[in-house]
Chains A and B, each alone.
Chain A
Amino acid sequence: MERRTFLKASLSGGLLLAAPYIARASANELRIQTWEGYTEPEWLKPFEEKHNVVCRVAFTTSDDDLFTKALASKGADFDVFALNTSLVPRYVKAGLYQPLDRKKLPNYENLAPVFHDNPLTFVDGEVRSLPFAWGSNPLIYDQNYFKTPPESWGVLWDPKLNQQVMMVDDSISAISMTALYLGFEDPFNLNSDQYDAIKKKLIEQKKVLLTYYAGFADGVSLFAQNSVKAMYSMGEPQVKSLKDKGVNAALTIPKEKATGWLDGWMLSPGCRNVELAYAWFDACLAKDTGKSMTTKLGYGNTTDLAANQAAGLTYADKLVWYRMTDDLPLRTKLWNEVKNA
């Protein structure tokens, strides 16, 4: 969750101040609670004009804030909201959602197969969320060193790359990636034997790691300054930042797969104008919207595969989407133990 926040924050240039707005009952108004970037003028303006409405947008600063806000007002503060789909069960459990009727969404069929019946958003025959944007935690490598992309996360354990590989300092990332590398089926649902194996593997990794990096920009500057050859990435935009610094960097999804994040729209239980909300959802599922977002912001979209292709975002089907885990304390403890070993 942290890296999601970080990614948005770095893209929005630190302007993530949730503007307090005055709720006003109005038929011509749509109240949108979202991460910055999902209400760009390219698709917001045409929507407003077409339906002759005003959209009131409030930006989310963190997953926790969003949940607290939704919980406090039972969803009455906004009509629609965007969130990380891994958190959908949390809202469902708290009753902070309305199931969606796909018949009212002509553009639903635009969704690529991998998103169309995604188990995070389409559960028990209910459409709970509409997949909208995605990204991944790929392996970033130096093309001057690797003539062909590394095939496995195993490069991050390779003794030949001693002091030239990096991992992010984050328990969820590290444990999930190692689980994938070790071939465990579900990196978000692990048993104690698997945890033991992961811990052992992560401690083993410390011998070859240069360092754990702390955040998006930190990883980029460390990679550039210390001739790092490969690292676990916090997201695709790190490649661009590295290239800006003159590093011949590229990303790959290793054969063991990689974790990915998927954001989607949900309908608030406090929605005042459900028709309008559906209209907004349908506009977001339009191929043009997906294309605009990918072109402008570099996120993967869920509808226009050609645009994804053009941006190199061809691997949505190789990702394991983030899901909630109920053993966060255990993971934190394990990670602290690894770092202290």
Chain B
Amino acid sequence: MISTAAPNESAKQTWSGIYTTRARAARAGLFVLVALVPSVLVLLPTLTFVANSFFVVDNGEIVKTFTLSNYATFFRDAEYWNVFINTLWLCFQVALASLILAYPIAWFIWRLPERYRYGLLFLIILPLFMSYVVKLFAIRSILGLDGFLNQFLVFTGFIDRPYMAFLFSRNAIIAAQTIMFLPYMVLPIFLNLERIPPSLIQASSDLGASAGTTFRHIVLPLSLPGVAGGLVFVFIMSLGDYITPQMVGGMTGHTFGRVVWSQFGVTYDWPLGAAFGVVLVLICTTLVAGVGLLSRQRRI
């Protein structure tokens, strides 16, 4: 029995081997087909961009000779460094403020009965459908000297005349960006909370933990990937957004994004702008990779 079965067995294996090899090749081919368009549309411009960062502008024309001078400019010039560090710090503050505001919201929505949960979540996400500029103007008209907030505070007697500090300050940037990017923080945290099996919460309570203890030891640690995701989202969005600081930050609204922009829109020094852009992208990538590594180490 065994001796007759063996050749059959091996024949079958060979066949299945051939089959899987073919299937794998077919799948790879399909992948290449599917990935071709996005690669060409995304990768190619990015590569051009990166290539640009190694060129130099002479007399308004881009000269295609390899040079690191654009990067040297960035690292040599304290002016750029200052803006850069300052911008990173601002983005970090925005991300942190968003977290502080968004976590309770996400938690609250998560605790709601299911029939209200998604309705409220939708309300939170609704502003994402609104134009960015419209939101910005709305926020500014609320915070402005003749705006709603000042009028309200004067009306209620908290202040006796309109107060300028709501707008055109670092805090105004943080407030405006926090409000605008809030959904990007609420969403990942909420989705993460939803992924926590209810039995874990019950188990914690069952083992004698109060609601607070359960939150500290179970819910919070298990929601950290969502928190990390949200932080990365908001940080990167804040890093890329030079309009909001410009529009509500007043004298403090100068960010690295604006510096990059000015190389493109005003100076036509694309290589220098590209080099700055590459530095930004590298920072973002490092950040995402770092967060990914951290959460893997924590097994969450």
Contacts and interface: CB of A to CB of B under 8 A. Distances in A.
B83 interface: yes
Interface string B55-78: 001000000000000000000000
Interface stretch (B29-37, B194-202, B248-256): B248-256
B79 A170 contact: no
B163 to A, nearest CB: 11
A109 interface: no
A211 B262 CA distance: 18
B246 interface: yes
B250 A170 contact: no
Interface string B149-186: 00000000000000010011000000000000000000
A218 B247 contact: yes
A336 B247 contact: no
A329 B77 CA distance: 14
Contacts of B83: 336, 340
B79 A332 contact: no
Interface residues of B, number: 34
Contacts of B46: none
Interface string A169-212: 11110000000000000000000000000000000001001111
B262 A335 contact: yes
B145 A214 contact: no
B246 A172 contact: no
Interface string A205-249: 010011110100010011011110000000000000000000000
Nearest to A224: B146
B141 interface: yes
A211 B269 contact: no
A214 B79 contact: no
A211 B169 CA distance: 9
B164 to A, nearest CB: 6
Contacts of A329: 57, 267, 269, 272
B126 to A, nearest CB: 24
Given A221-B140, A226-B167, A337-B79, A211 B253 contact: yes
A336 B272 CA distance: 14
A64 B258 CA distance: 20
Contact of B268 (A218, A222, A328): A328
B128 to A, nearest CB: 23
Nearest to A218: B247
B263 interface: yes
Interface in A308-341: 328-329, 331-333, 335-337, 339-340
A163 interface: yes
A2 interface: yes
Interface in A10-37: none
A210 B247 CA distance: 11
Contact of B247 (A214, A335, A337, A339): A214
Nearest to B247: A214
A172 B266 CA distance: 9
A21 B263 CA distance: 32
A193 B267 CA distance: 21
Most chain B C-beta atoms within 10 Å of own C-beta, residue among A170, A171, A222, A333: A333
A224 B144 CA distance: 10
A325 B30 CA distance: 54
B243 interface: yes
Nearest to B86: A340
Interface string B96-124: 00000000000000000000000000000
Contact of B254 (A172, A222, A331, A336): A336
A336 B259 contact: yes
A227 B151 CA distance: 13
B82 interface: yes
A209 B164 CA distance: 12
A339 B79 CA distance: 10
A226 B266 contact: no
A225 B267 contact: no
B181 to A, nearest CB: 20
Contacts of A328: 266-269
A175 B185 CA distance: 41
Nearest to B144: A225
A97 B269 CA distance: 26
Interface of A: 2, 64, 163, 169-172, 206, 209-212, 214, 218, 221-222, 224-227, 328-329, 331-333, 335-337, 339-340
Given A222-B144, A226-B146, 17 more contacts: A64-B268, A170-B266, A206-B251, A209-B250, A211-B249, A212-B250, A214-B247, A221-B137, A224-B146, A328-B268, A329-B57, A331-B266, A332-B262, A333-B79, A336-B262, A339-B253, A340-B254
22 contacts: A2-B266, A64-B268, A210-B168, A211-B167, A211-B251, A212-B253, A218-B247, A221-B141, A222-B144, A226-B144, A226-B145, A226-B164, A226-B167, A328-B267, A329-B57, A329-B267, A331-B266, A333-B79, A335-B266, A336-B83, A340-B82, A340-B254
Interface of B: 57, 79-80, 82-83, 86, 137, 140-141, 144-147, 164, 167-168, 243, 246-247, 249-251, 253-254, 258-259, 262-263, 265-269, 272
Nearest 4 A/B pairs, CB to CB: A339-B254, A211-B250, A225-B144, A332-B267
